[in-house]
Amino acid sequence: MNNSKFTYQKSGVNITTADKFVDFISNQTKQKKNKYKFKNIGGFGSITDIPKTYKKPKLVASTDGVGTKIEIANELKKFDTIGIDLVAMCVNDLIVQGAKPLIFLDYISINRLDLKKLKSVMKGIVKGCKISGTDLVGGETAEMPGTYDKDKFDIAGFSVGIVDEKKILNKKKVKKNNIILAVPSSGVHSNGFSLIRYILKKKKINLKKNNFLKTELLKPTKIYVKEILKLIKKNFINGCANITGGGISDNVKRIIPNDLCGEINLSKIKTKKIFKWIKNQNLTDKEMLKTFNCGVGFCLIINPKNLNKIGKFFDKDFKPYVIGKIISGKNKIKLNEKIKW
């Protein structure tokens, strides 16, 4: 008779390793003395102060992941950028409504804890929080043997932002004759990777041996927080859109009021080499536009009088430029001409 004792570790869950990872996160997120009143990492819940500078504060919440971009990271065994992607996908949605990101939590689920891999992911999350001025206040790491294949894992993020009621960006502020600006993306960001991976598989492309694709496909999503919040403070923005799944058309029309239409001249878009490469893999313009950002990571809707005041808030690689205007119409979005691939 086998008298060996059953243990949690024998089932595939290592609490000792999990505790080491929590200690690592805690060390990564240590703040300057007296900067924060509460210590959150490792606790049951996360507590944060509501800033007192808001007269009528409203909280805005967002959650997201990085999709199958995580499989590219797995294939290349490079995990230090997808954490930045994770933060970006959440906080870029908050600023669309005028909110300043306040706190961030992450969720990591994995077949078996791999400290080296997870530490690399977490460094990216910490970096993303630093770029966006967000506090990483907690999260969850779940070791789930039998749920994921060997070496497989997934990550998700949750962020809360704050905005004064009078500063909320909504459709009501978008007016006829406003202009639409494109803010460049850093690359593919975190959408469309299932299609990219399908292309790589069908064309039998060895990603590990393709230096161009290795670099481009793991470029982290641009975090637009600092630039956009400065523009909001100056009252330079009437509306904005984070260009993610669904592309320019589906995301811009979400902020267009009834009886108005965003007219966009696609020939004005300054696309990037990675999108030219994807397009050349036998994709139609329609498929490109509904799947990828095509070089436009964020859109601003502004009063034309503010156009010359906008550029100085962005680095040279992310200077906004005009791609359209708001006109009368019931279709919400109208795409003219074609992107010059």
pTM, rounded to two decimals: 0.93
- pLDDT tens digits, 36-70: 444 566 677 888 888 889 999 999 999 999 999 99
Higher pLDDT, 210 or 25: 210
pLDDT at 207: 96
Do 176 and 327 meet the contact criterion of CB atoms below 8 Å apart?
yes
pLDDT band with cut points at 50, 70 and 90 for residue 1: low
pLDDT at 2: 63
Mean pLDDT confidence for 239-243: 98
Mean residue pLDDT across the chain:
92
pLDDT at 5: 85
pLDDT at 34: 41
pLDDT at 31: 56
Mean pLDDT confidence for 132-155: 91
Mean pLDDT confidence for 278-304: 98
Inform me whether the pLDDT recorded for 121 exceeds 50.
Answer: yes
Domains defined for the chain, CATH in brackets: 11-45+52-167 (3.30.1330.10), 171-187+222-336 (3.90.650.10)
Higher pLDDT, 194 or 5: 194
Distances (CA, A) of 296 to 6, 55, 117, 161, 266: 54, 34, 31, 24, 11
Inform me whether the pLDDT recorded for 153 exceeds 70.
Answer: yes
pLDDT band with cut points at 50, 70 and 90 for residue 33: very low
- pLDDT tens digits, 201-233: 999 999 999 999 999 999 999 999 999 999 999
Query: What is the share, in percent, of the chain residues with pLDDT greater than 90?
Result: 79
Mean pLDDT confidence for 284-288: 97
